[in-house]
Amino acid sequence: MAVQKLRNGVIARIARLIDFRIDERLRDLNGRVIELEYATADHRRRLDGAESGIEHVRGDLRWTRAELDRLIPSVAAQEAQLEDLRESLSLSVHADKPELAEARSLIQEIQRQHAQIRVRLAGIARYEDRLRRIEDTITAPAGE
């Protein structure tokens, strides 16, 4: 009878030790699961923000593209006009000094406006490139 009590006592102690280790491991795993749930919620929130940002950038890019498409024909027409003026200047002109001065003044004004348009188009191209790079950064997979 004493041996059996001793045996039952040893078995109970071993069982409590095993239960303690299992309970400790379960607490650790439970804590890790909670951490992962918080991280997942944070990632979802950040992903929603990134998607919203992408949609904003896409809207800006569509607007920029529309503006560029609208400006390109005007610039092409002005370049054609400028080329026509250059060709007409290369011909011998029979005009008096005031007419030549006015013609030169007009040509200089056209060249100034042409330069301004080129600067604006370069700015639009840089802006569009920046938007594209931002969109590429936002849409790139995390491993890249």
Q: How much is the average pLDDT of 40-59?
A: 90
| Per-residue pLDDT band at 35 (split at 50, 70, 90) | very high
Q: How confident is the model at residue 90 (pLDDT cuts 50, 70, 90)?
A: low
Percent of the chain with pLDDT over 70: 92
What's residue 40's pLDDT?
94
31, 95 Cβ separation under 8 angstroms: no
Taking the model in full, what pTM does it have?
0.40
| In the chain, domain spans | 2-139
Q: What burial letters (b/e) apply to 90-113, b meaning 16+ CB within 10 Å?
A: eeeeeeeeeeeeeeeeeeeeeeee
DSSP structure class, residue 143? T
DSSP 80-101: HHHHHHHHHHHS-----HHHHH
CA dist., res. 92 & res. 97, Å (int): 14
Residue range 13-41: average pLDDT?
87
CA dihedral 110, 115, 117, 119 (to 10 degrees): -170
pLDDT at 136: 82
